[in-house]
Structure 1
């Protein structure tokens, strides 16, 4: 069975992408870059109890997925807006190895879709 994203990439251990909010996404300097509100699980070292009215511990951060090639197709739909007026491009619904490809990964959500060859992943969480 292929590894899940949290098994394959150390920076995504104890991160739950499926309920993390994508604020912006695009290709910058040859990498797929997400600005997001990441969900941290209780075992993450930066976890804190959820704020009132929130279901999870969220931390703003930047997820960079670099590799060769990076093939990206963004959604043509304009983003929704959350109650605070910030853009809401949905979640990262799929981050999984490509079937039959030992090095490629697919990434999908309402924001669009991407394929990244031999990805390296860095998640930089804000304060």
Structure 2
């Protein structure tokens, strides 16, 4: 049975299609994606967008582990974009689906097919307020 990421535990109220992939790392038995993740209003970490942002974005990591098998095609298709702050990004996650323990991820960075346990999503703690700013 094919399933889309909003049905994965921990992936509720996030929107990968408008998130930014900052890095993809593959190590033996581990695949991780670093993201500027778009949180939807129903997410417990959701807050007002930062000044200049169009939505609530938070740094996050998706980890697949243990990975039993991984095929990554189309890696040379896209080059990273550089945003106004100088941060590189590789586009968004066009899709993340599962069929039993088989997963497919697609984006400007190519297509990754893998066999793994369920992915985990961790969201970085929100940044501390700037002590020099006044409310």
- TM over 0.5, yes or no? yes
In terms of mean alpha carbon deviation, does 111-120 or 79-88 score higher? 111-120
Runs ≥4 in structure 1, deviation > 6 angstroms? none
Q: Distance in 2 between matches of 1:103 and 1:27?
A: 18
Counterpart in 1 of 2:107? 109
Contiguous gaps of at least 5 residues in structure 1: none
Distance 1:74 1:31, change over 3 A: farther
Tell me which structure has the larger Cα radius of gyration. 2
**3-state SS in 2 of match to 1:10:** coil
CA contact (8 A) 1:25 1:111 kept: no
SS at match of 1:85: coil
Residues 31 and 70 in structure 1, CA contact (< 8 A), matched pair in contact too? no
Deviation at 1:108, TM superposition (A): 0.7
TM-score by length of 1: 0.86
Matched, 1:83 2:84: yes
Contact residue 22 and residue 37 of structure 1 kept, 8 A:
yes
Mind listing any 5+ residue stretches in structure 2 that lack a counterpart?
126-135
The CA deviation at 1:120 is 1.7
